[in-house]
Amino acid sequence: MSNDFDVVVIGGSTTGVAAAVSAQRIGAKTCLIEKNGYLGGTATAAFVNRFQIGYGVRGEGVIRGVFQEICEGLAELNGIDGDVHKVEAAFDNEALKKVCMDLCLREGVTLYLHSLVADVHKVDDTIQSVALLTLGGLRRKIRGKVFIDATGNGDVSFMAGADVEIGRPFDGLLQPMTLIFQIKNIDPDELKKVDFDALWPRFYRETGIRTPSRRRIVMEPMTLSPTTIGLCMNHVKGKNPLDVEELTSAEIHARDEAYRIYSFFKKNVPGFRDCELITSAEIGIRETRRVMGEYVLNRYDILGGQKFADAVGCSTAWIDLHNPLGEGVLHEYQPKDEWWEIPYRALLVKGIDNLLVAGRCISATPEAQSAIRVIPTCIATGQGAGAAAGLATTRELPLRSLSIHELQDVLRSQNVWFGQQDDMG
């Protein structure tokens, strides 16, 4: 297998899949590097089984393109719960694994699974190659013309020496981590009779666990099975996922809490008598590094529905900022039928000529990042980055010399929507 590519995408999340597929469709020879043995990232590995779509514009979703293809693929497998234009939609994560894999294989993307980027080789301000650490211990070099960091943590950007920011500017604290888990074999009819608000005091006394919201112990359904529920109930606060000891501590703590929650329900709540626990493969991480680009998206861009001449996508996702220390979640929304745009400059990594960033770690403030990090919006950033990388390599142009109009035309041809001038269908 050749180790030379036009576009190298690191991180096989839904973001990375969108980036790789978009670049390959333009004619760029593209590979996708993923640490797990499957694709989908947090959506599949951490049981984040819901698309937070936003309220849309005039009842229509604004994120189309690869996201819409993924939804259609899920629908063919009966793996999504109906209308994807509503605010949120649950999906089956096994179906998502298949849809993501099929998309990449159908387009001819080269996959490197079970592979971690261990090093970045850079000459001046240009990345030449990345070194892969595989299960065989090999450090295979993958060379590319353009690289896309879709790791979610800005790993490649950090290794390449890019400027990054972590946490809130005044104390460096990050949003808490959460281990999402599922409980199967419940009795849905019995569950409907449970007053969870009344159950809260006893739950807290016996488990000592405070949920993100006292008013909601069991989250809305995050699975497609009526006898399985998904729970997003533990917040591990004050830990930095970039510190391996703190991340290990978070996993241990969260898994212990999940078992205590499950045990309480099984013992005390009607409908849970015969239930079984299923935990996700890894804890869910809301934020780590934010890679600094040519533009930094901010809270006012999100809430004000900011439009950009160099937009590569758009979203109606809202600010969803979880308190790093105490209880509560800050939700702030755009006006009805308003949307905000993702500028290409927020994907251009400052100081590195051939590196783009996509997903939750693009150039943004903590407040804006909390809106960007949801799956559909991350997919939009990935498709934008992939199209730019594909166009740059096929045109043999630097990333910063691309015609924005041509880039937007390419994205339109991939069914990306750019506002009222485009047909909402």
Q: Is the pLDDT of residue 211 over 80?
A: no
pLDDT, residue 223, reads: 81
SS3 content of the chain, % helix, strand, coil (to 5): 35, 25, 45
- Mean per-residue pLDDT, 183-200: 89
pLDDT digits (tens, 9 = 90+) for 36-49: 999 999 999 999 99
C-beta neighbour count of 272 within 10 angstroms: 22
Residue 399 pLDDT > 60: yes
Segment among 23-27, 180-184, 409-413 with least mean pLDDT: 180-184
Mean local confidence (pLDDT), 241-257 = 97
Q: Label residue 210 by pLDDT band (50, 70, 90).
A: confident
Residue 222 has pLDDT above 80, yes or no: no
Question: CB neighbours of 227 closer than 8 A, spacing ≥ 6?
Answer: 184, 185, 186, 187, 188
pLDDT the model gives residue 199? 86
Confidence band, pLDDT 50/70/90 cuts, at residue 233: confident
What is residue 197's three-state secondary structure? helix
Cβ–Cβ < 8 Å for 218, 197 = no
pLDDT classification of 425: cutoffs 50, 70, 90: very low
- 155-159, 216-220, 417-421: which is most confident: 155-159
pLDDT tier at 54 (50, 70, 90 boundaries)? Answer: confident
CATH 3.40.50.300 fits 4-168+287-413, yes or no: no
Q: How confident is the model at residue 66 (pLDDT cuts 50, 70, 90)?
A: very high
Interatomic CA distance for residues 148 and 134, integer angstroms? 20
Residue 215's pLDDT band (cuts 50, 70, 90): very low
Strand runs labelled E in 261-328: 276-279, 289-291, 311-315, 319-322
Collapsed DSSP state (helix, strand, coil) of residue 16: helix
Confidence tier at 138 by pLDDT (50, 70, 90)? confident
Convert the pLDDT of each residue in 70-125 to its tens digit: 999 999 999 998 666 666 889 999 999 999 999 999 999 999 999 999 999 999 99
pLDDT of residue 198: 86
pLDDT at 83: 67
Task: Give residue 404's pLDDT.
Answer: 98
Report the range of poorest mean pLDDT among 133-142, 343-352, 413-422. Answer: 413-422
Q: With a threshold of 0.85, does the pTM exceed it?
A: yes
- Over the stretch 14-42, which tens digit does the pLDDT of each residue have? 999 999 999 999 999 999 999 999 999 99
8 A C-beta contact, residue 131 and residue 121:
yes
Number of C-beta neighbours around residue 237 at 10 A: 17
Q: For residue range 337-383, what is the model confidence (pLDDT) as tens digits?
A: 999 999 999 999 999 999 999 999 999 999 999 999 999 999 999 99
111 touches 24 (CB < 8 A): no
Beta-sheet pairing, 181-184 with 228-231: antiparallel
